[in-house]
Structure 1
Amino acid sequence: MKTLSQIIGILLLGTLLISCSSEGSNSNSTKPKARGSIGEIILVIDSAKYAGPVGDALKDIFEADLPGMVRSESKFKVNTVDPRAMTRMLKMSTNLIYVTTFDDRGSSSQVINAQFSKESKEKALNDPSLYSLRVEDEYAVGQEVLYLFGNTEEQLVKNLKKNGDRLQNLFEVRERGRLEKIILARKNTAANAEAEKNLGIQINIPASYQVAKSVPNFLWVRQPTPTANRADISLFFHVEDYVSEEQTFPENILKIRDSVARNHIFGDPDDPTSYVVTEKQIVPAFRNMVINDNFTTEIRASWKTNNISMGGSYLGYLMVDEKKGKLYYIEGFVFYPNEVHRDALREIETILLNTDVSWIPDQGA
């Protein structure tokens, strides 16, 4: 049975022959290990180009705001570097994006253009749809290098706008994969046992999380020791019978979510008025998809306690398994006042997308 993360494939981008300083995807053991935090991208581009239409198109892709947030936060942490200032250390970054146009005679862009062979440029000239090249492990092991190019700025901007979702998805999937190896190296088997018993699903929870509450049809796990450098993250899982398509309507998803939270999740367990609700002042963002043949809706929104003592961001998935006649709501929410929530939400996404709601118990067990 595939987990949710296994069904999310990386969309392949256009390719073009390019003269590089290495053998590309060949993982040479003599190369250093790539370095960089999760979600960080080094964008190598002429400053004048970044200040113009090309930069605007790139910002729309890599620095787009996460939906449903109380504060503005971008999808990735992007650091721009002038091509002439690239050092050996910077070249070992985990995620590198080089951006240029072949008509740019500026010294910065020429540094990038010099990496392209004459034949490569001619091929791009004859086929304006070519705009990108991926090279793995070019300077370091575990590295993703992406070249974005065009004959002119107008042509590059057109291709960026057309393929923005693909480019964004490339790094989103890659970063989830990197994070998964880190946080799921050690798992909480007790939490998975509770999920199998009370919800009939399989989950993958890091060992750092502990079960806060487990009852029939509901499970709540959280990290017990958040710090100044570590967000307070909670995850909860709920199952109920699927009886009508109306349950999947956005307004009804929120009703299910808030009903579950009201019954089980409190900012202060001793204060019954401190139950968790969706923050209605921030418009929730919904996105429909199909995962493992199951209709799924992603929800990104903000939450608060009913007595307004706490608040934060959350990411949830409503999943319908028609074969089992079940509807699942799974969510992770963050409490991290005055700090960036992006990294915590990526952790939540990575964990939740490793949930298998279609799991069937071994009848012989």
Structure 2
Amino acid sequence: MTNHKELQADTSVAPTTLLKLGWDNHFDRQLATITTTYAHIARVISVQRGLFLVSDGNSEWLCSPAGRLLHSHKGDYPVTGDWVFIDDTVVTGVLPRKNILSRGEAGSRGGRTGATTREQAIASNLDAVFIVCGLDRDFNIRRLERYLTLVYNCGLSPVVVLTKADLHEDSESFRMEVETIAFGVPVVLTSMLDGRGRSELESHLGGGQTVAMVGSSGAGKSTLANMLYGNDIQSTNAVSSSVGKGRHTTTVRELIRMPQGGMLMDNPGIREIAFHEDGHGVESAFTEIQELAEKCRFADCTHQHEPGCAVLCAVETGELLPDRLESYHKMKREMQYLSDRRSKSADRVEKERWQYVALLKKSMYKKNK
């Protein structure tokens, strides 16, 4: 195990065992500012029923949280991927994160409460996120847009992975379709049958890199992990032939040390892609709309009814698909709601929301009259 004195002796050079787990200069700088005493530093490999499986690169062991962590702010509670301070078998603290992948807690998106404000942390300290989508009934462009927005909102780099490419003779057409909405994002076709796409994804799993996979149940995340590892390390289930929905195979978020040198985290399937807080994810996921907006007549154009709107003009000419714009508006409304919830009372937000709905209905009535 790595002790406190070893790390403090030269905070610019972490022990090799920690480097293999993803330690980098960011954590060197964070550690240099820490004055709290602790015995060891380790990384959380998985969270299991209130216990943490941690590793220092040499060994793994289970730890329980210190009492103050149980009663601290929820954002301070360790998640998979965190670097933590350990005293024997007790996690006493969390090193400040480089980033965190989180979403809104499932169950409230689309209800009267609007976009949820409760956070569900998925993983921390990531270098990339694989958005996994199967080329079967799982394929959905609008859902991919939400995943991209979620990842960008967390300040992370996405990679779209299209699994089950062997199901189609012209799988390349799916890649081309995704590239029309995922500008500048790597889009990789994969197949377990012939190993297609493996070398492209391995470039993201080099020494010290950490990648998390997200996607629906049955999208092929566990199968993808097996292909990249070169062995069956994750159990897999077939997709239901009657409804086309996958079964939950992965139940625990766990970092897996890969032969390429990096770490990969499988995740339980996500049924609902809800946002936790407002950010710049929409702007990053819809860059073409942002570019068109710069040509609008009005600087505060909402791209809904204003004259001289370059975005609406693009829809009329076929340059921009109506569904793409509607998806943009929908997520912008969710982000605005989140922002309002933090600055206004819940009652006021709801009142303004229904006023907006009434105005929208009135506008639609006039158009159809």
Taking structure 1 as the reference length, the TM-score comes to 0.30
Structure that is richer in strand per residue: 1
Structure that is richer in helix per residue: 2
Taking structure 2 as the reference length, the TM-score comes to 0.30
